[in-house]
Amino acid sequence: MDDQTTYRIRIDLAYDGTPYHGWATQPGLPTVQEAVETGLATILRQPLSVTVAGRTDAGVHAANQVIHCDIPQTPWQRLVGNRPTRRPEEALVSKLNGVLARESGAIRILSAQIVPEGFDARFSPLSRQYRYRINNGTPDPLTRHFTYQHRRPLNFEAMAEEIADIQGLYDFGSFCKPRSGATTVRTLHRFDLDVTQELTTVWLAADAFCHHMVRALVGALVQVGDGTRPCGWLQDRLANPVRDSHMMLAPALGLILDTVTYPNNDEVEQRAQQTRARRDPTCLPCD
């Protein structure tokens, strides 16, 4: 191997989005991407850019986000320092967590691994799953940063009926922020509720999500649940997609990127090629 050899590294991470202005780097504002790339540059002693599975909005959290980056052989092997029995993957997780803990403590690296060169955090996923938390009871100050407290009572039976059997291929034009030339067609794998006495969790999974799609779907469901909109309103907007001012976004703080699912390593490159060919990439970032 020569000095030009690089390793493609998949990094799984979780974060509390409260102190950040979303994932993507913005001049003069703290973002998750900036914090992670700065941390990587610190431990690798050189600048590095990463590719993310989904660019979350300001205030949105992640239980399992995925990124990839290409690290040259020399800084990769240098991560082990004077502990040659240690794997570089383990050293990266430990050192990067140490740097991020000093930055805010709101980001945690879960794992790192070498993956095939064709792996693409953004284009290789089979699906992304989100959960949205709604507090049903007394507001809890300990969970206020990642749970939405709706001020009006919600009819959970009506909400469950509204989204029953909503799966498959749809045009989500009523629930997406428009982007010039980009498709709003997506395949929805899951849209359901878990209801307990204190908490309702809305689950959504799809092959990908357009910008604001998750929060707009939850916002429409909440409007049906509190009686602002009649039963069937969400389904009608799904059957007859329109872009209008009736789209209401649920607050960002209740939204958590739960999981990103990938095919086996021998299939990730083909999956990425299929995704690029099928969709305009300007609409691929998650909500």
Is 57 annotated in the active site? yes
The one catalytic residue in 3, 12, 16, 57 is 57
Beta carbons of 154 and 134 less than 8 angstroms apart = yes
Pull the structure tokens for residue 214.
Answer: 């998750």
Calpha distance 46→270 (Å, rounded): 31
Buried-state track 195-226, b at ≥16 Cβ within 10 A, e below 16: beeeebbbbbbbbbbbbbbbbbbbbbbbbbbb
Q: Please calculate the CA angle 257-259-262 and round it to the nearest 5 degrees.
A: 135
Q: Please calculate the CA angle 236-242-248 and round it to the nearest 5 degrees.
A: 80
Pull the structure tokens for residue 10.
Answer: 């998949």
Show which residues are catalytic. Answer: 57
